[in-house]
Amino acid sequence: MQVQSNRACLVIAVMVFVGLITSTQRADAQTYQLYDKLSIALEGSFIALDTRIRADSIEHGIGTVINFESDLQMERGKMAPTVSLEWRPWKNHRFGLFFKDIDRDSTAQAATEIIFDDIVIPIGADVRLGYDIRELGIAYTYIYRPRERSSFGFGGGLRILEVGVSLFGRLEGEEGGGEWHDSVDATAPLPFIGVEYRYMFSEKWRFQTDLGVFYIEIADIIGFQALGRVTIEHLTFDNFAFGFGLGASNVDIDAANDWWRGALDLDIFDVRFFVRIRM
């Protein structure tokens, strides 16, 4: 598996470009609310995924790279709720927290032999796949010299990705039913560094774009991640805002240790609508 995704990088580059364009806007003498002291956003997201995974074993060696969406007919799109929190206790310091849970399943027939962890799935076997992703992220941003209408920040954080894969199957006609089952669970702590740009189009319209990247190559782990986001929101009321956002991320991991033996290449694209409670 390649260490990066060209599609995700292209989307992120567009996000950064849009952010730079907004910096050319002229400021005036109005009062702008670039940040909230404390806010909680409740989001409904339509998420599109592209998942390629490989589970190796000592017995069978290198496993088969499976594309869940094309090889096992798993739906690419999914509606999922997300909760995020932002806290700015001091002028130049902001903290963030977010949680996302994506649960999918599918049933398909293996078109080729699949080696997954400790099992070998023969051609023609019926495969029932369960796939769950939980994502918890924490972040810190240092706001560098905030202006009345715009600000630039940089910082980092930790994205904890929990991936659970379960395979159930039955080969028709085989004596004893030919049933098999296997599951793999992995938790990947993925640190990142990032930048943020905010801009107020007016007193009510707030724009934000973020970009985060990280690469590690140490011992038996090679990992890369990139994530980007664009958000536009309307500060409709003193304590409530409504908004729309686009996001893209790529995670590429190749490891051979206790928590994961195999590879994961995951692209996530999302379109989300949200309401923000502002305090």
For 217-227, the pLDDT digits (tens) are 776 778 888 99
Residue 77: its pLDDT value, please? 87
What's the CA gap between 68 and 165, in Å, rounded?
10
Query: Full-prediction pTM beyond 0.85?
Result: no
Mean pLDDT over residues 216-238, rounded? 88
Contact 83, 45 (CB under 8 A): no
Residue 176 has pLDDT above 60, yes or no: no
Q: Tell me what percent of the residues of the chain surpass a pLDDT of 90.
A: 39
Mean pLDDT over residues 24-31, rounded? 47
Residue 257 has pLDDT above 80, yes or no: no
Mean pLDDT over residues 258-270, rounded? 84
What's the CA gap between 70 and 90, in Å, rounded?
48
Residues in the chain: 279
- Write the single-letter amino acid at 270: D
Q: Which residue has the higher pLDDT, 256 or 279?
A: 279
Contact 198, 231 (CB under 8 A): no
Residue 123: its pLDDT value, please? 82
Q: What sign does the dihedral 67-70-71-74 (CA atoms) show?
A: positive
Q: Between β-strands 126-144 and 179-200, what pairing exists: parallel, antiparallel or unpaired?
A: unpaired
What's the CA gap between 111 and 3, in Å, rounded?
27
Contact 190, 160 (CB under 8 A): yes
Residue 23 has pLDDT above 70, yes or no: no
Residue 195 corresponds to which tokens in the numbers above?
């930048």
Residue 150: its pLDDT value, please? 94
Q: What is the pLDDT of residues 46-97, one digit of tens each?
A: 999 999 988 888 777 888 898 988 888 888 888 888 899 999 999 999 999 9
